[in-house]
Each structure stands twice: as C-alpha cells, then as structure tokens.
Chain A
Amino acid sequence: MTAAWVEQIMGMPVSIHLRGAEVGERAPKAVTDVFAELREVDRLFSTYRPDSQISLLGKGELELGDCDPLVAEVLALSDEARAATDGWFDVLLPEPDGTYRLDPSGLVKGWAVQRAAARLGKRWAGDYYVNAGGDIALCSRGDRPWRIGIEGGSADTLVGVLPLFDGGIATSGNAHRGGHLVRPDNGEPAAELGSVTVVGPSLMWADVLATAAFVRGVGALEWLQTQDGYDAVVVGLDGSVECTTGIRSVVELS
C-alpha cells in the first residue's frame, strides 16, 4: 500500500509518500508534522516574506543573537558549503548592478527537507520519501527501492532511472528557462550544462553539490568524482549523459 499527501510550501508542491502495510487514507501525525515543520522553516527563512527572520536580519532590524538558533545553523552550513565547493556555491550572489543579495534558499530547502524526513523516519516504520519541487529525501527499509526518474535539460525528457534505498537526490539546471542560476563570481547565468543530478547520504549536500557543479560548468563531472559518498549524472547541453563511476552499474539510462 502506498499513499501520498501534498501541500504547497516554500512556493512549491511538497509531497510525502508512504509505503507499507499500515498506510491508510488519513495522514498520520508524523506526516502532518513534517508539513508543519517545513512551514515553520519557511516562516524563518523565506526571502519573499518581509517579516521572516532572514529578511529582518538582512535589513539590520534583527540581531543574529535574537534569531532562532536555526538561523545561525543555516549560516554556518552556508559557510561550510562555500568552502567545500571552492566558492561555487554561495548564499551571497552578485546582482547585475554590482550589489549582492543574501539568498540561502538554495541550501535551506535541502536542509529542511532532509531534517523533516529524518524525523518522519523515526516515527514511520515503513518506506517513505519527501519530494520538494524535484529534490527528494527517501528511505526504503525493505528490498524494494524507490525508483527515481532523472530529468535532463528539459522537463520532457528523462535521461534515466535510479533505484535508491536511502539518502537524497537533487537536480540543478535551467530546464525551461535560461539563466536562473548564476555564477557567484561574476553574476553571469550558468549555461554550460543541461543539468546536474547528485545523489548521496544527505539531501542538503546533494543539492549544494549539484548547484555548485552546474554553475561550475565545464569540469563538473571530474569535480563531482572527487566528492566522497556522492555520485552524479551530468547532462550536457547537447543531451549527452555522463555518470560518476559509483553509479554507472546502477543507473538505468534511457
């Protein structure tokens, strides 16, 4: 038996899927608590809410010491992510006019979903996954993996399927519209690759590495190959598909 519930949070559909003998129609409290937790994270971190703590902090109307401890945690992780990616992932992004803006949402999403999914896993004994706009934290405890389709450079192509038992998978790209992700060094749109999908134990890091590799462009696969515990599928602008060595025997390419 499987069941799924979806809510719109952080400007995207977040769906929670349970598989197991005890699945019923009604969402268990463990599921509604995940949604509640994500809504709370959105309240703290949304850059689209002028009254979120991250917005007030940016405006200088709130001290870090007065923020929820989660804000400091996210900023510390942001520093770590920037260092781990040689600066290719950065929550401070240059604007066309030469200014910078603080936008930790690229890290917050994976972090929040992974955190909420882990809590769900402690309360739900069956299989589950949480899908937030295409970034997925999942767990299968039996012998049946979750089968995750990988979108290529555009939303209407699947480059392959990965059967997964545990961890996170995230994709970065500009599918359908160019220039959403920008290089932290010069603010130019990243445009050298179709998409980068990264899979590994932590959804947050999978997401960070996918974004960093996509923005880095040329050399992304070689760099991802050096990331312990993480594997990747890199799709070129021409639709070519390359995988890191760790998943070549697992991924089912289309």
Chain B
Amino acid sequence: MGRISFALLSTVAVLVLLFGYRTSTGESAEQVQAAPAVPAPAPVAGARTVTGPAVTTSRGVVQVRITLQDNKISVSEAVRFPNEPGRHREINSRAIPQLNAQAVRAQSADIDAVTGATATSQGYRDSLQAALDEAGLT
C-alpha cells in the first residue's frame, strides 16, 4: 500500500462526504435478473431452443431466444423487449437484425469469442451471448 493510495483515498472520502454518494451512473446500473419462464415454441424435429437470461437495460428488460437446427442457428429473436410506447418498434427494428447478424456471424466466421466495448453491455448482446454460450456454440 503506497502513500499515494492513502492520499487518493482520503481525497475520495472527503469528496464523498461533501457531495454525497452516488450509487449509480445511469448506464452501468444494468443488472441481470433471473430468467423468468418463457413459453417455448412448438418443438420441431431436430430443433432445440435456448433462451438467454432476461437482461435489464436502461431501456428495459431484454431477453433473447435462439433456435438451433442441427446446431446451426435458424432463428434468433427477442422474446422480451422494453414495452414503453414507441420504444417497442425502435428496439424491434434495430435490435433484431443485429441479433441475427451476430448469431450468424458467431457460427459462420470461425470465431470463438468476440471482444467488444463493455460500455455497450447491451441487453441484446448479453442475452444473445449467454444463449450462445449455453448452447455451446461459441
């Protein structure tokens, strides 16, 4: 423990005492909830589905489900998305093409993992990545 750290800490303590303590900084307040039960689609021969966890974002809860046919992703869809009026359409039109692109990329481009800006920590990607992980595809 260096002297500098003590200095840093005491500065912090004073600042916090003076100006109060913030527990959240907006975006990074994202938290992941336990995945609620999502009705599974009708089974198709040889197909299986994997549902990612429900991820809470600043825009609302997002949850992704992928359908695999012979271990290839045939469908990736958002099964939960923010239902704030107006947002719904935006999320749907913007997120789902990205999800599909990511899903297809992950299985076709010979990639084991993707490094990306954590700040995005977006519900869509998080839930999709988790679903992919659970499916053992990445």
B117, A136: Cβ atoms closer than 8 Å: no
Main secondary structure of the interface of B (DSSP, over half): helix
Q: Does A103 contact B (CB under 8 A)?
A: yes
Contacts of A103 in B (CB 8 A): 25
CB pair A12 B126 closer than 8 Å: yes
How far is it, in angstroms, between the C-alpha of A11 and the C-alpha of B29 when the chains are bound?
Answer: 8
The answer on a CB contact under 8 Å between B115 and A177 is: no
- Given the known interface contacts A11-B121, A48-B24, A147-B110, the answer about A57 and B115 at a Cβ–Cβ threshold of 8 Å is no
Chain A residues near B101 (CB, 8 Å)?
A: 156
Provide the residues of chain B in CB contact with A13, threshold 8 Å.
32, 53, 126, 129-130, 133
The complex places the Cα of A79 from the Cα of B116 at a distance, in Å, of: 26
Partner of B115, one of A11, A50, A134: A134
> How far is it, in angstroms, between the C-alpha of A124 and the C-alpha of B86 when the chains are bound?
49
Given contacts A136-B113, A146-B112, A149-B114, whether A180 and B138 have CB atoms under 8 Å apart is no
Q: Roughly how many angstroms separate A123 CA and B107 CA in the complex, as a whole number? A: 29
B113 engages A5 (CB within 8 Å)? no
Q: Distance in Å from the Cβ of B38 to the closest Cβ of chain A? A: 16
Pair A75/B9 contact, Cβ less than 8 Å: yes
Nearest opposing residue in chain A for B18, CB measure? A99
- Tell me the nearest residue of chain B to A58, going by C-beta: B16
Minimum distance in angstroms from A162 CB to a CB of chain B? 8
Bound-state Cα–Cα, A146 to B1, Å: 36
Residue of A72, A105, A158 touching B114 (CB-CB under 8 A): A158
The answer to whether A174 touches B4 (Cβ under 8 A) is no
Binds B, one of A33-41, A165-173, A223-231, A243-251: A165-173
Q: Are B129 and A172 in contact (CB under 8 A)?
A: no
Measured as residues with beta carbon below 8 angstroms from the partner, the interface class of chain B is 35 or more
* Residue from B32, B116, B136 in contact with A3 in the complex, judged by beta carbons closer than 8 Å: B136
User: Which B residues lie within 8 Å of A136 (CB)?
Assistant: 113, 115
Q: Which residues of B (52-106) have their CB < 8 Å from a CB of A?
A: 53, 97-98, 101-102, 105
* Chain B positions within 8 Å of A5 at CB level: 133
- Contact flag A148-B113 (CB < 8 Å), given A15-B130, A17-B138, A155-B102: yes
Per-residue B-contact encoding for A102-130, CB less than 8 Å = 1, 0 else: 11010001000000000000000000010
- Report which of A6, A78, A155 forms a contact with B8, defined as CB distance below 8 A: A78
| Bound Cα distance from A84 to B13, whole angstroms | 24
Contacts of A172 in B (CB 8 A): 117-119
Q: Is A85 in contact with chain B by the CB < 8 A criterion? A: no
Q: Given A11-B31, A15-B130, A75-B8, do A171 and B115 touch, yes or no (CB 8 Å)?
A: yes
Residues 158-212 of A contacting B (Cβ, < 8 Å):
158, 161, 169-177, 180-181, 195, 197
Interface contact B13-A57, CB-CB below 8 Å: yes
- Which A residues contact B (CB, under 8 angstroms)? 2-6, 8, 11-13, 15, 17, 47-48, 50, 55, 57-60, 64, 72, 75-76, 78-79, 91-92, 95, 97, 99-103, 105, 109, 129, 131-136, 138, 146-151, 155-156, 158, 161, 169-177, 180-181, 195, 197
Interface residues of B (CB under 8 A from A): 1-2, 4-6, 8-9, 11-13, 15-19, 21-25, 27-32, 53, 97-98, 101-102, 105, 109-122, 124-126, 129-130, 133-134, 136, 138
CB<8 Å pairs between A and B, sample of 5? A4-B138, A101-B16, A146-B112, A175-B120, A180-B119
